[in-house]
């Protein structure tokens, strides 16, 4: 890339003032090395996933921030690049904090079994998911009450069949189901 840009800049009198110095090319090479090692890893993972999952967002933020912090601690890094990388870390951290604004990240991350989460975090995520289900989506309490007058009503039994009581809610059933194989198309 350097040869092509230098040739273009030197061939046109108006562009000669924009020809990059050896120091500027060194900085560009350093920038490319940061982007190739860290950012490309993120995009390769996300683009190779058959279905992007919310549960991978927090681990990817953690990975990127850790890698960029390690880069800043490297003694071979120039001050300008370290400053730019720190600005990138600050931007990532601003977005990372936003994951606390919604319980969906907590729930999704807590159920992502490929990471070693602390047991109390996993328990909190599961309790949060079940609580949200019960308060927002679960059947109302009056339908779960044993004193339902319709239970032994011949008319309702004829129309809807004899209703069986399910002791577990849908979230419990889902969580106890076996995980799909990685190659399985879960949308089919």
Over range 92-99, report the average pLDDT.
87
Q: What tokens does 30 get?
A: 């350093």
CB 77 within 8 A of CB 21: no
Q: CA dihedral defined by 33, 39, 40, 42, rounded to 10 degrees?
A: 150
- pLDDT of 29 reads 86
- pLDDT for 132 beyond 60: yes
Residue 91: per-residue pLDDT:
94
pTM metric for this prediction: 0.57
Contacts 24+ apart (CB under 8 A), 49-56: 50/185, 51/186, 51/187, 53/108, 53/112, 54/104, 54/105, 54/108, 55/108, 55/109, 55/111, 55/112, 56/112
Assigned token pair, 177: 């189901």
Return the percentage of the chain with pLDDT > 90, whole number: 5
State residue 51's pLDDT score.
Answer: 62
For residue 36, the model assigns a pLDDT of 76
pLDDT value at 20 more than 70: yes
Mean pLDDT, to the nearest integer, of 76-80?
Answer: 82
Mean pLDDT to the nearest integer, 84-98: 90
**pLDDT attached to residue 46:** 67
What pLDDT does residue 87 have? Answer: 94
pLDDT score at 86: 93
Residues 17-32, mean pLDDT to the nearest whole number: 85
Mean pLDDT of 143-165: 62
């Amino acid at each position: 890339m350097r040869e092509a840009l230098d040739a273009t800049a030197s061939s046109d009198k108006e562009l000669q003032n924009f020809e990059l110095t050896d120091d500027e090319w060194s900085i560009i090479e350093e920038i490319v090395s940061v982007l190739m090692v860290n950012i490309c890893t993120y995009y390769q993972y996300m683009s190779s996933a058959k279905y992007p999952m919310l549960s991978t967002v927090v681990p990817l933020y953690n990975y990127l921030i850790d890698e960029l912090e390690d880069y800043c601690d490297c003694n071979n890094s120039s001050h300008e690049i370290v400053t730019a990388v720190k600005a990138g870390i600050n931007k990532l951290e601003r977005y990372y904090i936003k994951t606390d604004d919604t319980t969906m990240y907590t729930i999704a991350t807590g159920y992502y079994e490929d990471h070693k989460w602390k047991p109390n975090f996993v328990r909190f995520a599961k309790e949060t998911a079940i609580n949200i289900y019960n308060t927002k989506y679960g059947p109302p309490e009056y339908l779960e009450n044993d004193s339902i007058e319709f239970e032994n009503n011949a008319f309702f039994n004829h129309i809807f069949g004899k209703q069986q009581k399910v002791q577990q809610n849908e979230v419990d059933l889902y969580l106890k189901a076996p995980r799909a194989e990685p190659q399985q198309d879960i949308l089919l």
